[in-house]
Amino acid sequence: MIDKHADRPPPVSLLDAFYYWLKLGFISFGGPAGQISMMHQELVEKRRWISEHRFLHALNYTMVLPGPEAQQLATYIGWLMHGVWGGIVAGLLFVLPSFFMLVALTWVYLAYGDLPLVAAILYGVKPAVTAIVVFAAYRIGSRALKNNALRLMALVAFIALFFINLPFPYIVIGAGIIGMVGGKFAPDTFRLGGHSKTTTETFGAALIDDHTPIPAHAAFSLRKAVLICLCTLAIWCVALGALIAWQGAESDLVDMATFFTKAAFVTFGGAYAVLPYVHQGGVETYAWLTTAQMMDGLALGETTPGPLIMVVAFVGFVGGWTKALFGATLLPLAGFIAASVVTFFTFLPSFLFILLGGPAVEASRNDVKLTAPLTGISAAVVGVILNLAVFFAMHVFWPQGLTGPFDWLSLLIAVAAFVAMARLKLGIMTVIFASGLAGALTLVVA
């Protein structure tokens, strides 16, 4: 452990920060929990760029936001240290390595996915993906559903999505309203415990310490807030206008841009929670991909670093390829352009949330609160994730439909994958690799 009496570390240049964020982009496996743990260990304990109190305060804010909390936390810390450009560098480098890796994997998947070995590996991976989603529902539910009222909200959200097919944004809005009302009349029921504000262990003086004054660039300014909003809106309008001028208002690329912009504002609860919404649009409404391909995309997303919500790049690539946007001879180019469009419009709002809200968060760091509406949304998210698990299970265990035969081998792989994560504490990458190997062995046995 670093000596608590050690001198404050020297100032960090934007170039030094660039190298760190680039490195993190390539090694940030393990989902948001693993990514946040990596940043805490490196930035709080080892490098001491930021104190634990300031780190956790920023994390509390990103947990309230829609979007990938780990990527937004990196953006926040980059912004706090080096202003707007620091935030942009940190946020971009957190996702770009993942984007290029996933695009490459998606191309291999579409070009060679029909080969017997690849198909067998995917056969083993799909039940593991189902188990991963079930485990996510279990893990999040054990933290979020602290009483019967919240458990009932999760159940209602599941019923609304699975049986009524209610659009995901309505569920989020309704849960938030219930939480807001419940917080007023039953505050104890809708009290959500966040990360502790108390620093339990001192790692030494940090560059941005508990009592370090707010940097000039992080102070709230109405003029600056309006400028950030106008600049973000201008970037969005120019990008969308360019797509309309190039492809036409009714094109798939424009549909992707508008759909994933809306998705960016309802991704409370992370990627697992928003996937049903992406499925509704990508599979049912626009037919960019199939349910089976969505599951394969989630598996590929689990094997790459960066935020899991990057699976939207897979959806875009497959959509561009499937729709042959530029003709049958340019399928990879169509996939790459579509994936780029989807990624841009999905992550643009994340930068707005941090650059716009950061100054207010810094000004209120002595009064950290997670609101009652967030409690309601968190409860509903558990039901949404459970819906995704059931939906996947139906397609994996009954591959020919509910009237067809039951796939017992897939169930066995799924149960083994769940036990490996829940009991043996194996990582997702290990589970996916083992499940893919089990699928490949079916070629030998067959």
* 248 vs 246: CA distance, rounded Å: 6
* 427 three-class SS: coil
Write the DSSP assignment of 64-116 as a string of letters: HSSS-HHHHHHHHHHHHHHHHHHHHHHHHHHHHHHHHHHHHHHHHHHHHTTSH
The overall pTM is greater than 0.85: no
Q: What is the pLDDT of residue 371?
A: 57
Q: What is the pLDDT of residue 15?
A: 95
Per domain, the residue ranges of the chain are 14-194+220-445
Q: Inform me whether the pLDDT recorded for 115 exceeds 90.
A: no
Average pLDDT value over all residues in the chain:
84
Looking at per-residue confidence, does 32 or 347 come out higher? Answer: 347
* pLDDT tens sequence across 194-250: 444 444 345 678 888 878 888 889 888 899 999 999 999 999 999 999 999 999 999
Q: What is the pLDDT of residue 374?
A: 67
Q: Inform me whether the pLDDT recorded for 5 exceeds 50.
A: no
Q: How confident is the model at residue 29 (pLDDT cuts 50, 70, 90)?
A: low
* pLDDT tens sequence across 251-283: 999 999 999 999 888 776 666 667 778 888 999
Instruction: Produce one character per residue of 374-406: b if its CB has 16 or more CB atoms within 10 Å, e if not.
Output: bbbbbbbbbbbbbbbbbbbbebbbeeeeeeeee
Asked if residue 168 lies in contact with residue 269, where contact means CB atoms within 8 angstroms, the answer is no
Looking at per-residue confidence, does 89 or 302 come out higher? Answer: 89
* 56 vs 40: CA distance, rounded Å: 9
Looking at per-residue confidence, does 100 or 138 come out higher? Answer: 100
